[in-house]
Amino acid sequence: MLRLTDAASAPLDDLPEEALASYLELCLARDPDAPLCRLHRGADAVTLAPLDQSSLRGDVEACLAGAAPSEDGAVGADVLAVAPGFPVGTLSVPLPAARSAVPGPETPAQIGLIDAGIAFWNPNILNVEIRSVGHLAPAQAGGVERLASSEIDAAIARGTAPEGDRANRRMLAAAFPGSVHAPQAGRPPLVRPGQVAHGTAMLDAIARTAPPRSRLHALELPRAVLRDSTGIRMRAVLPLALAAMADMAARATQPNMPLRLVVLLSYGFPGGPQTGADPAFLRAVTAVLDALAARNILLELILPTGNHLQGQSVAHLPDPEGGARPPLTWRILPGDHSNNRLELFHAPGRPALTLTAPDGTEVTRAEGRSFALLRDDDRIVGLIYTRRASDSLERTEVILSGRGPDGAGPGAPFGAWRVALGGPGPARAYVRRDDSGFEDDRAAPFRRSWLEDPAYRPRDAMGLPGTDDSSHADSLVRRAGTISVLCTGRDPRLRSVGAHWSGGDGTHPAVYGGLEADSADAPVARLAVDGPGPFMGMPLRGDGSDRLFRLRGTSIAAALHAGERAAPQAPTSASA
């Protein structure tokens, strides 16, 4: 029998990002030894440090009871987020020293690529000069494991031979044991010879448009980040990756030379809010950019709008105008080993929320409550919490647990859940990222969830996937709002890029590119053509060989724009 327990009404605003999602994992007790970490930025470094489970549990339960949490635990002025931990322990990246020369938009930029599976030795990628290659690593490695210049040169030389690709991957597996190139726990590497690797495709796309002999720095993300089905680790690691990229470029550049960096991060982050209110991890990103700017390092982050247009991941809930708001249907798949998360952004007031399980069982978290655990009989299978998102918005999140590692724990019931939100005013719902694309255990798959409405029309009048909501104005489920949440910020150093395809009569919106929630109030998204048709894509190198893979996506569009952006830019009032 489904029921809610452990209800609380205390404010939860002092808890850092993802503290409650991590607390749920502790309550589920699926992995008693699962490590946790906390992200904090000091004066001279960005650090992911281990966080004791009892400290997090104590801080969350203190907040739930209305008491002050410990300043040296999960909560503190410098703590930006908590996340599942890494087996490497503390991960600390120093911020580069201040530079004497001040860069401007007219300064030729060096290029940074943050990705995975980057075959930088591919002999067909000729337009960029590989200056440094690194991998996020434990603190004893100074935050980043790096290849020496001689190792980079040797790998590029080997890349011209037929067996060079395999030899270089073995070299990276030894140099970066936590990367996608290395086997882990008896499983093969996530990226293998002959298979397309996202990082290599991004490198090739950048090289197509970059100025000749542009300097490029490649940073491999840890395997543990890419296998995380929640996206929490990616959000926590991103500020460290930016600091690491700046440090790599600064080490490779004379200290009296101005340093402008154009960095590509080709990952999308579905979610909200998309009204200009910054989520915590977006604030963490801009805080690192500000710290670098204070050191005379200008870093621009190139971001794809995301490929979630057809994901049925957003719903626009109308103002009930004194009546009842229509319930939302949320589909959970069987056999899922990832937690499923639904965010609802609404007017303040902690409105009531009713969940109806697939078997018709109904539970309601009362108005004014901020927290409740969801149980199926005596098993914890999820939670509901509400906290402030901005001065004008609250965020209510529902998390339903998937099956645990090795099938431990049955998880929340699968099927069609109904979510009914009370309170006045319009609201938005967003399905949070719960599939990473890097899955190496077929016995424990990650299956995405989505929203349903009978009025939603997946195809337009021509039979193609729709690119807007004009054909289903009466549907709660919408395409507007599927843009990556990082692309909704107003900071001109965050440059969002969408995709178009080219046809005989011009260019047309891609059938996958994320769409702004409110086009009239959205940041400007640059557009790049990523293929000659809606489904054909662009031929790109994807491994260390001369083989071409036909690929499409807003990440490719962003990579093409990153190469263009490396050229000197005309100064503007906003430096945009």
Same domain, 462 and 501: no
What is the DSSP secondary-structure string of 115-180? ES---TT-TT--SEEEEEEEEE--GGGTTEEE--HHHHHHHHHHTTSTTHHHHHHHHHHHH-TTST
Q: Contact, 343 vs 314, CB < 8 A?
A: no
Residue 277: the pLDDT is: 56
Residue 83: the pLDDT is: 79
In the predicted model, what is the mean pLDDT of residues 495-508? 83
Q: Contact, 477 vs 456, CB < 8 A?
A: yes
Same domain, 172 and 255: yes
Q: Contact, 63 vs 6, CB < 8 A?
A: no
In the predicted model, what is the mean pLDDT of residues 535-562? 89
Residue 73: the pLDDT is: 66
Residue 572: pLDDT over 70: no
Same domain, 289 and 398: no
User: What's the rounded Cα separation, in Å, for the pair 45 and 480?
Assistant: 38
Q: Which structure tokens are listed for 74?
A: 């999960």
**In Å, how far from its chain's centre is CA 491?**
18
pLDDT digits (tens, 9 = 90+) for 209-248: 999 999 999 999 988 888 776 667 888 888 999 999 999 9
Residue 388: pLDDT over 70: yes
Q: Is the pLDDT higher at 495 or at 527?
A: 495
In the predicted model, what is the mean pLDDT of residues 349-375? 96
Q: Which structure tokens are listed for 431?
A: 């399905």
Same domain, 404 and 293: no
DSSP, collapsed to helix, strand or coil, labels residue 271 as coil
| Total Cβ atoms within 10 A of residue 141 | 15
Residue given tokens 């289903």 in the structure block = 472
**Residue at 399 is within a domain:** yes
Q: Is the pLDDT higher at 476 or at 489?
A: 476
| Total Cβ atoms within 10 A of residue 148 | 11
**Residue at 7 is within a domain:** no
Residue 549: pLDDT over 60: yes
Same domain, 128 and 220: yes
**Residue at 576 is within a domain:** no
Same domain, 55 and 134: no
**Residue at 572 is within a domain:** no
Domain count of the chain? 3
Residue 520: the pLDDT is: 57
pLDDT digits (tens, 9 = 90+) for 98-134: 999 999 999 999 999 999 999 999 999 988 999 999 9
Residue 22: pLDDT over 70: yes
Q: Directed axis angle between helix 232-251 and helix 280-293, to 10°?
A: 10
Nearest to 458 by CA among 419, 416, 511, 536: 511
**Residue at 99 is within a domain:** no
Same domain, 140 and 245: yes
In the predicted model, what is the mean pLDDT of residues 366-375? 97
pLDDT digits (tens, 9 = 90+) for 285-329: 888 999 999 999 999 999 999 988 999 999 999 999 888 899 999
**Residue at 182 is within a domain:** yes
Q: Which of 431, 459, 477 is the last residue of a domain?
A: 477
In the predicted model, what is the mean pLDDT of residues 539-564? 91
**Residue at 327 is within a domain:** yes
Same domain, 468 and 332: yes
Same domain, 295 and 325: no
List the CATH number of the domain containing 221. 3.40.50.200
Q: Which domain holds residue 345?
A: 314-477
Residue 202: the pLDDT is: 96
Residue 576: the pLDDT is: 43
Residue 439: the pLDDT is: 60
Q: Which of 94, 121, 152 is the last residue of a domain?
A: 94
pLDDT digits (tens, 9 = 90+) for 145-180: 999 999 999 999 999 887 889 999 999 999 999 899
Same domain, 237 and 255: yes
Residue given tokens 């440059």 in the structure block = 495
Residue 155: what are its φ and ψ, rounded to 5°? -65, -40
Task: Name residue 117's amino acid.
Answer: G
pLDDT digits (tens, 9 = 90+) for 180-212: 999 887 788 888 888 899 999 999 999 999 999
Q: Which of 477, 504, 527 is the last residue of a domain?
A: 477
Same domain, 252 and 152: yes
In the predicted model, what is the mean pLDDT of residues 387-401? 92
pLDDT digits (tens, 9 = 90+) for 408-459: 566 899 999 999 999 999 999 999 864 455 665 666 667 789 999 999 999 9
Q: Which structure tokens are listed for 175?
A: 């140099």
Same domain, 464 and 546: no
**Residue at 328 is within a domain:** yes
Q: Is the pLDDT higher at 138 or at 266?
A: 266
* Consecutive H or E run containing 21: helix 19-28
- 37 forms beta bridges with 50, 83
Q: How big is the chain, counted in residues? A: 576
